[in-house]
Amino acid sequence: MKNFSSTLIIFSILSILSSCGKILGGKKGEQENITTLRIIAVETTAGVSTIDTFEFSDPDGPGGNNPTRFDTLHLQAGKKYTVALQVLDYSKNPVVDLSPEIVEEGEEHQFFYLSNILGFNVTYSDQDSKGNPIGLNTEWNTPNVGNNGNLQVILKHQPRSKATAPGNINAGETDVDVTFPVIIQ
Partner 1 sequence: MKNNPLIWGLFLFFPFFSVGQNVPNCKKNVVVLILDEHNREPLKKGSVRFKNQVYITQNQGQSLLPQVCLGDTLILSHLGCDPKTEVIHDLPDTLVFFLEHHAIELKTTEIIFKKRNWIQRSEFMPGKDPENLGRSFAQMLQQNAGASTLQTGANIEKPVLLGLTGNRVTYLQNGIRMESQSWGNEHAWETDPLTKQNIEILLGSRALWYGTDGIGGMINSLVIQPASSSKPWFFVHGQSQGRGGNVGVFVPFSTKMGLFSIQGTFKKLGDFSTPSYVLRNTGIEENSGSFSFLKQYENRRSLFLNFQIFNTETGILSWSHIGNLSDLRRTIDSNFIPQNEVFSYSIDRPRQNAQHQWIFGQWNDRKLQITFSRQYNYRSEYDKHNSFGMLGKNPQNEFGLAVNSFAVEKLKKWEGWGFRLDGRNISQDYGGKYFVPQFQGNVFGFSGERIFPEGKWRKTLVVRMENHSYHAIVTNLGKQPNLGAMGWGVGLNVKNESWRNAHLVFSTGRNWRFPGMNELFSNGLHHGTASIELGNMNLKPEVAYFVEGLLKKEMGKISFSSFSHFKTAFNFINLEPTGNYSLSVRGAFPVFHYTASNVVSWVQDFSVSKSDFFIPNLNAQIKSSIVRLKEWGSSSNLLGVPPLSVQAQLSYQKEWRGIVFKPMLKANYTSFPFWAPKNLEIGRLPEGYLLVDLGTNFFWKDWSGSFQMNNALNQNYFNYLDRLRYFAMAPGRNFSITLKKTIQ
Residue 80 β-bridge partners: 141
Backbone angles phi, psi at 70, to 5 degrees: -145, 95
CB 155 within 8 A of CB 102: yes
**Considering the rule CB under 8 A, would residue 139 count as an interface residue with partner 1?**
no
* C-beta closer to partner 1: residue 8 or 51: 8
Q: Which of 27, 46, 49, 129 binds partner 1 (CB under 8 A)?
A: 27
* C-beta closer to partner 1: residue 19 or 49: 19
**Considering the rule CB under 8 A, would residue 9 count as an interface residue with partner 1?**
yes
C-alpha to C-alpha distance for 103 and 159, rounded to whole angstroms: 14
* C-beta closer to partner 1: residue 142 or 172: 172
Please give the span between the terminal C-alpha atoms of the chain, in angstroms, as a whole number: 91
14-18 contacts, C-beta under 8 A, 24 or more apart = none
**Considering the rule CB under 8 A, would residue 93 count as an interface residue with partner 1?**
no
**Considering the rule CB under 8 A, would residue 8 count as an interface residue with partner 1?**
yes
CB 134 within 8 A of CB 127: yes
Q: Which of 42, 51, 61, 183 binds partner 1 (CB under 8 A)?
A: 61
Reduce the DSSP state of residue 16 to 3 states and report it: helix
List residues binding partner 1 (CB under 8 A): 2-4, 6-11, 13-15, 17-20, 22-25, 27-37, 56-58, 60-64, 66-67, 70, 89, 96, 98, 101-102, 156-157, 170, 173-178
